Amino acid sequence: MVGFVETRQSRSKVNRSTNKAGPEQVIMNIPGLGQAAPAATFSAPTIQAAIAVHDLQANSEWRFEVAYGQSIEVKIISGTAEIFGTELAVNHTYTFRGTKSSIFTWHGCRIEVNGPCEEYMAEETPMITYVNTHFALEKLRDDAIQNGGEGPRVLVVGPNNAGKTSLVKLLTAYATRMGRQPMVINTDSREALLSIPGTLTATPFASIIDVEQGWGSSPTSGPSPVPVKLPLCYYYGLASPEDNTKLYKPILTRLALAAASRLADDPVIRGTGMIIDTPGVISQGKGGYDLISHIVSEFSVNTILVLGSERLHSEMQRRFSAYKTRSGEAITLVKLDKSGGCVDRDDTFMQQMQEAAIREYFFGDPKRTLSPHTQQVNFDDATIYKIHEANAMLSSFLPGGEEDSQQVGLYENVEPSSMMLHCLLAVMYASTRDSQETVRDASVMGFVYVAEVDEKKRRLKILAPLNTRITDRPMIWGSWPETTVSLI
């Protein structure tokens, strides 16, 4: 629905910053939204509200965490510095809210910090090995362009909280600085990229990453000084790939087909290749290894970066040392060290990050105020499918645990009820007459929030980005993101 993507900009009020970037090509059409950057907890002293100045030595890193509900302002006074590969402008004030991040300098710099945060300096970082990985990928891209082939399809795997997403962001930023346009694939439904949790996305990056917004913003965020990114989005609706592999695998296949089609249509993206982020859970067990094999097969992966796990690297060697892609390429395996700045993120933080992403989708951020619409929907007019929760549910009532695909469908067609209160529904690019397989393979049009359920009047109160008819589209109800607090 075009209205979800384009018209929504007209309802935005923007306070523009001085950060500037060049124009970006329109690449894909889907309503995602800038995702809050991940955060973590440090046992470190807290800076008070007074302005502090730090001198960073060459090849060192300043790591910081800003709690949700607070903000800090950071300015590079002199020298050069970057955040996950994106260079920071000198004498420009950057504002960070509810995030964990780090500023790295190759040659030394002086920074000014205004506001409370937890922070510490780190002199040992894996940045040299990471940048060497980037240059190795650049060599593969040069060879691909020269020979008319595809650039590297890079898969990043590792346990939870190993820094996979940070590495993907760094490699993406370095590639765009070289004039490339990498296709970034997110297969982790717990942490969506340019969308809300519960989705899998494919996003071409043709311009700089907005360091204040995490990955940046999509058109639904309203006008932005940094060019928006246009992700293609599919809805999984569960927290873990292992919750329902019968649903997760076909969605991955559909995402891979869409990404491959985009590469075939754009020679710049084809020469740059893909960078694929993965959930940590699939790197921690046999069932997850099978999902890694599925991703490798569907995306024709020819480079695997193993982050922070000797055991996983050994397993990847065993599985893929003799593996060939569909085009006959061998798979290159690279083991990388985990950054010392990676820390565990507890359930409380994950919930805060999830709620922040949802609020930002409907109401914008401090720089962009959005005004969603409410509408009434009759029970009889809504077509809602509920996702089956876990694999166990598919086989628990069958003899010997055998699964029968004829007995249990992909979704359950449900009537609205009070159980949906405060939940999100994904509105799909499909018809209410389409089969469940067609609905599953459709991309996401947008999301609506169930603000009120009146079972006596058989009516839903829906919060939507635009006052647009949604009853002619099927809607999917998943368990992730989890039921949140009232937005209204």
Digit-coded pLDDT (tens) for 20-75: 344 333 333 334 333 333 434 444 444 445 789 999 999 999 999 998 889 999 99
> What distances in angstroms separate CA 213 from CA 33, 100, 366, one per listed residue?
10, 12, 11
Residue 109, domain member (yes or no): yes
Binding residues: 61, 100, 161-166
- Residue 144: which domain range? 2-16+24-35+126-336
What's the mean pLDDT in 164-170? Answer: 95
CA nearest 336: which of 303, 291, 364, 377? Answer: 303
Q: What pLDDT shows up at residue 399?
A: 45
Q: What pLDDT shows up at residue 396?
A: 41
Residues 144 and 58 both lie in one domain:
no
Domain CATH code at residue 385: 2.40.30.330
Backbone angles phi, psi at 15, to 5 degrees: -105, 100
If one counts every other C-beta atom within 10 angstroms of the C-beta of residue 407, the result is 10
CA nearest 176: which of 141, 126, 129? Answer: 141
Residue 360, domain member (yes or no): no
User: Token digits for 221?
Assistant: 């965020």
- What pLDDT, in 10s, does the model give residues 453-467? 999 999 999 999 888
Q: What pLDDT shows up at residue 224?
A: 66
Mean pLDDT, rounded, of the chain: 84
- The yes-or-no verdict on residue 404 having pLDDT over 50 is no
Residues 271 and 418 both lie in one domain:
no
Provide the terminal-to-terminal Cα distance of the chain, rounded to the nearest Å.
24
What's the mean pLDDT in 177-188? Answer: 96
Binding residues for ATP: 61, 100, 161-166
Q: Is 137 exposed, middle or buried (0-12, 13-18, 19+ CB in 10 A)?
A: buried
Q: What pLDDT shows up at residue 406?
A: 42
Q: How many domains does the chain have?
A: 3
Q: Of 73, 104, 124, which residue sits at a domain end?
A: 124
Lowest mean pLDDT among 281-290, 343-352, 390-399, 442-451: 390-399
Backbone angles phi, psi at 127, to 5 degrees: -60, -35
What is the three-class DSSP state of 166?
A: helix
Residues 103 and 147 both lie in one domain:
no
Q: What pLDDT shows up at residue 391?
A: 56
Domain CATH code at residue 301: 3.40.50.300
> How is the beta sheet containing 411-414 ordered, strand by strand?
373-378, 459-464, 444-454, 424-428, 475-477, 384-387, 411-414
Q: Of 318, 336, 354, which residue sits at a domain end?
A: 336
Residues linked to residue 104 through DSSP beta bridges, in sequence order:
61, 82
Residues 307 and 400 both lie in one domain:
no
Residues 413 and 297 both lie in one domain:
no
Residue 361, domain member (yes or no): no
Q: Which residues contact 261 (CB under 8 A, 6 or more apart)?
A: none
User: Token digits for 65?
Assistant: 């965490």
- What pLDDT, in 10s, does the model give residues 129-158? 999 999 999 999 999 999 989 999 999 999
